Amino acid sequence: MPVSLQVQVRSVRFDRRRLLRLARAMLKLIAEPSADMSVSFVGDRRMQRLNHRFRHKDRSADVLAFASREANAPHRFNLAGAHLGDVVIALPTAQRQAKAAGHPLEEELVVLLIHGVLHLCGYDHERSRDEALRMRRKERLMRRRLGPIGRFVRPPKRSGPRRREA
């Protein structure tokens, strides 16, 4: 399977099949259909630790991308079709951003996932103003090409016995 999914938060449940299909569609849009990647959803504390360890910024972030092709790896590892890398999304931050923007959580997660995938492919908005514009254009293009996004976030399962109303 080209995309693996890890969910380390319990505040929502995902329709894994729809989410994986969406991630695969993104790989096709960036001309990497045979590549694989992983997507993880974490809490803010975990994201803060990752951001501090790898970017030396002691705060949470909404999305981090760890590109395998930029890592020091054996020569043949960096061929097309190999592991692109890992996208990590802070779910609580995404929830706050979606609420502030007035759109569904799914829409925010799609935006963050596109952003992370582009980072895996070498786009970097922090490199220069021109690169930031190039990345922003590509993000908008990918979002348009994905079309309508179905629901893939569900409320968490209820724990404990249910009370019946009389």
Distance CA 65, CA 27 (A): 15
Give pLDDT, residue 150.
Answer: 87
- Strands 153-154 and 3-7, by their bridges, are unpaired
Domains of the chain, CATH where assigned: 3-147 (3.40.390.30)
8 Å CB contact between 118 and 72: no
- CA 80 distance to own-chain centroid: 21
pLDDT tens, per residue, the chain with 166 residues: 489 999 999 889 999 999 999 999 999 999 888 899 999 999 999 999 999 999 999 999 999 999 987 654 444 444 455 889 999 999 999 999 999 999 999 999 999 999 999 999 999 999 999 999 999 999 999 999 999 998 999 877 766 555 555 4
Coil, strand, or helix at residue 4?
Answer: strand
Contacts of 84 (CB under 8 A, 6+ apart): 27, 32, 35, 36, 37, 67, 68, 69, 117, 120, 121
At a CB cut-off of 8 Å and minimum separation 6, what does 7 contact? 14, 40, 41
Structure tokens at 45: 């504390």
Tokens 């070498």 found at: 122
Query: Can you give the pLDDT at residue 11?
Result: 86
3-state secondary structure of 30: coil
Contact 139, 103 (CB under 8 A): no
Q: Using alpha carbons only, give the angle 154, 86, 71 rounded to the nearest 5 degrees.
A: 175
Q: What pLDDT is recorded for position 40? A: 96
Count, residues in the chain: 166
Residue 125, pLDDT score: 94
Q: For residue 73, what pLDDT is reported?
A: 47
In sequence order, what DSSP letters do the residues of 62-98 get, joined into one string? SEEEEESTTS---GGGGSTTSEEEEEEEEHHHHHHHH
Q: pTM for the complete prediction? A: 0.86
